Amino acid sequence: MSAGTATGTGYGLHADVSSASEHESAAVGQHETAQENVQSANPLSRKLNKILDIRLENDKDILEALKVLSAFFSQNTLRSRRNLRGDIERRSLAISEDFAEAFEKVKGGLDSIHSDVESMRSSCQEMTGRLKAAREQTSDLISKTTDLHKESQQLDMRANVTDAFLEKFQLTTNEVMALRGPRNGQLLQEFFAALERVKQIHNDCKILLRTNQQTAGLEIMESMALHEETAYERLYRWIQGECRGLTGDTVEISALHCEAVAALQDRTVLFRYTLDEFGTARRSAMVRGFIEALTRGGPGGTPRPIELHCHEPLRYVGDMFAWLHQTTASEKEHIQGFLRLATSQSRNSDIEDVLGHITEGVCRPLKVRVEQVIVADPGPVLLYRLTNLLKFYTHTISQFLGKEAMLLSCLEEQQELCQKVFFNALTVLASKLVDKVELPPADLGPTPTLTQNLALLREILMSHDSSVVPLDARHSDFVKILGCVLDPLLQMCSLSASRLNPCDMAAYMINCLYAMQSCLALYEFTDQRLEMIAAQISAHQDTLVNEQASYVLSTVSLIQVYSIAQQHKPSEGPLSLVHGMDTTALRSAMVRFDTYLSSPDSSILSQCHLINSPVLREEITKRGTELVCGAYQLLFDSITNPANGYQEPKSIVIRTPDQVRALLL
């Protein structure tokens, strides 16, 4: 291709050069001719001008030819221009020879390839013939091989199905070994996974029973049931032994214990037996701990043994109940940890039952010691404090135990016993008050017996006020206590004052009631009793007020005059005509009344001075004075009334009622 192109280009170049030479010669001739006849029009001239007007830079072929020509046309001489055609032809011939030589090599290569292809074609034809012959000979073998291959695939599929069936419905060797466990009887974590696997297989067999594989399903279910029962039996034996070892002061509940208890929930009987074993072990530990706390104390003697404080009943009983409360709370935490993986709906009930069984062991030793303290009759105050203490711990411990727990019943029984002994002590005390009545002292103040019993009541009320039992229970106890103490005291005071005159009785009863009122005023739930005492005090105050007014009027000789004026009716005629109401008698009485006005404090009853309460004493005096002023008002109105016939009434009653009231009040 290169040679041909070069050759063509060479011939074109040669032609162009020859043509250019000819044109050049013609141009010279034409130039000469043009000189001769410039004005003439010559076609050759026009052609030459056309050639001269050609722009070579726009003709790519001419440019390419000139580039090739410049490679070997080095000198532009006349000789070179004359030999240009020959040079171009020789160059074209050399290029053609080179091309022919190169193509000869290509032809040789193609001939070799052709021979190889022919050889391969003959070999393929030979092989094709052989294959046809072999196919004809092995067609039966191929069909048999195909059948065997299909059968092999079916067998592989059956094997896979069988493996999947065995994997789903049979235990592995490791799982069987995990269920059986090691020879030392220790339970491993893999046991629970194997047991769960047995349950899963047993449930999956229900699907087989719905298909045509009922026989296989029944056999597998029977096998799994046997494995399951064996596993549960082994699990129960293991947890039973573990529970029997939980008798120390500190209990360590492991994860295996919790998983074992959770797994036994599917066997209700075994689950209950396990809880009973745990409760029995912890019960013995709690009883032993209680006895050690009573007699030996804590580790290293701290805290000290509780029995050392048996001479202090309140502390003794309080320490026992404090230990019981703390231990009950700890045991509940142990049970909750033991059952933390259990999902039974009755989990709370199970915890309460086990805790009740555990705490039942301390009922007898606790009951004996508390009863010893109660029966020893430590006194009403201490008995009441013990009652409140029992109520508090009964309420507190009941939050851990069920309503049917034996310990709770024991605590309630001790509480009732203590409360009964307390009220019996108050009743005995009340009967002694009524049986042996003391005479009022000379100062008409409270008797020593009343003072002592009020001090006792005050201590009881202080204990009651600091009690931590619920308000409803405290209110009920308060009513009973006041009924047992105050009513006998009031009866004692009434019997003691029965032989006194009215003034002494009123003063004495006011002092006694005031002492009771002062005792009750500081405590809650006493409003009703305080109102009752205030009403009684008011009644006795009225007595003293009337006696005080009568005493003053008697002192100034106005009692009879006042009585006549009070009872006089206008229809009976003038008051001045009534015996004892004449002007002389009235003037004499008014003189003495003026003496009273100058020093009213000298006419106060001695019983009023014996009133312990300054407020009550002042109130009695004031009310008595108001009655005296009222009596003077009545006399003044009667004397100044013209209908009563008094001459110069202003000379009889010099002062007006307002003036008298101002002097006295």
**Averaged pLDDT, 392-409:** 89
Residue ending a domain, among 206, 222, 239, is 239
Compute how many other C-beta atoms are within 10 angstroms of the C-beta atom of residue 491.
Answer: 14
CA distance 505 to 502: 5
Instruction: Give me the pLDDT at residue 631, please.
Output: 92
178 shares its domain with 53: no
In tens, the pLDDT along 292-303 reads: 999 988 777 778
Instruction: Give me the pLDDT at residue 466, please.
Output: 59
Using an 8 Å Cβ cutoff, are 619 and 604 in contact?
no
Residue 374 lies in a domain: yes
229 shares its domain with 269: no
Helical packing angle, 527-555 and 502-520, nearest 10°: 150
Instruction: Give me the pLDDT at residue 25, please.
Output: 43
Local structure of residue 299 (DSSP, 8 states): G
Q: What mean pLDDT value characterizes the chain?
A: 84
Using an 8 Å Cβ cutoff, are 397 and 328 in contact?
yes
Least-confidence region, from 150-154, 296-300, 482-486: 296-300
268 shares its domain with 235: no
Instruction: Give me the pLDDT at residue 29, please.
Output: 46
Give the tokens for residue 318.
């309080």
State in Å, rounded, how far the first CA of the chain is from the last one. Answer: 159
SS3 content of the chain, % helix, strand, coil (to 5): 80, 0, 20
What are the Cα distances from residue 396, in Å, to 325, 328, 349, 473, 582? 8, 11, 18, 14, 83
260 shares its domain with 406: yes
299 shares its domain with 406: yes
Strands (E), 126-224: none
In tens, the pLDDT along 402-431 reads: 888 999 999 999 999 999 999 898 888 888
Residue ending a domain, among 50, 71, 92, is 71
Let me know how many helices (H) and strands (E) the chain has, helices first.
Answer: 25, 0
Number of domains in the chain: 4
**pTM over cut 0.75:** no
231 shares its domain with 345: no
189 shares its domain with 216: yes
Residue 451 lies in a domain: no
- Higher-confidence residue of 19 and 495: namely 495
The runs of H, that is alpha helices, within 497-526 are 502-520
335 shares its domain with 401: yes
Residue ending a domain, among 48, 71, 94, is 71
Residue 439 lies in a domain: no
**Averaged pLDDT, 519-524:** 85
Is residue 617 scored above 60 in pLDDT? yes
Residue 428 lies in a domain: no
Instruction: Give me the pLDDT at residue 205, please.
Output: 80
405 shares its domain with 553: no
Identity of the amino acid at 188: L
Residue 104 lies in a domain: no
267 shares its domain with 227: no
Compute how many other C-beta atoms are within 10 angstroms of the C-beta atom of residue 408.
Answer: 19
368 shares its domain with 226: no
Is residue 171 scored above 90 in pLDDT? no
In tens, the pLDDT along 305-346 reads: 998 988 899 999 999 999 999 999 999 999 998 888 887 667
Local structure of residue 183 (DSSP, 8 states): T
Closest CA relative to residue 360, chosen from 283, 429, 293: 283
| The three-state (H, E, C) secondary structure of 328-396, written as one string | HHHHHHHHHHHCCCCCCCCHHHHHHHHHHHHHHHHHHHHHHHHHHHHHCCCCHHHHHHHHHHHHHHHHH
CA distance 410 to 415: 9
Instruction: Give me the pLDDT at residue 32, please.
Output: 47
Range of the domain at 224: 174-239
Instruction: Give me the pLDDT at residue 26, please.
Output: 44
Helix H or strand E segment including 481: helix 471-496
- 532-536 long-range Cβ contacts below 8 angstroms, 24+ apart: 536/490, 536/509
Using an 8 Å Cβ cutoff, are 99 and 4 in contact?
yes
**Averaged pLDDT, 583-610:** 88
CA distance 288 to 246: 13
CA distance 612 to 507: 9
190 shares its domain with 311: no
Residue 509 lies in a domain: no
Residue 608 lies in a domain: yes
Residue 531 lies in a domain: no
In tens, the pLDDT along 177-214 reads: 888 877 666 787 888 888 888 888 878 787 777 776 67
Burial class (CB in 10 A: 0-12, 13-18, 19+), 187: buried
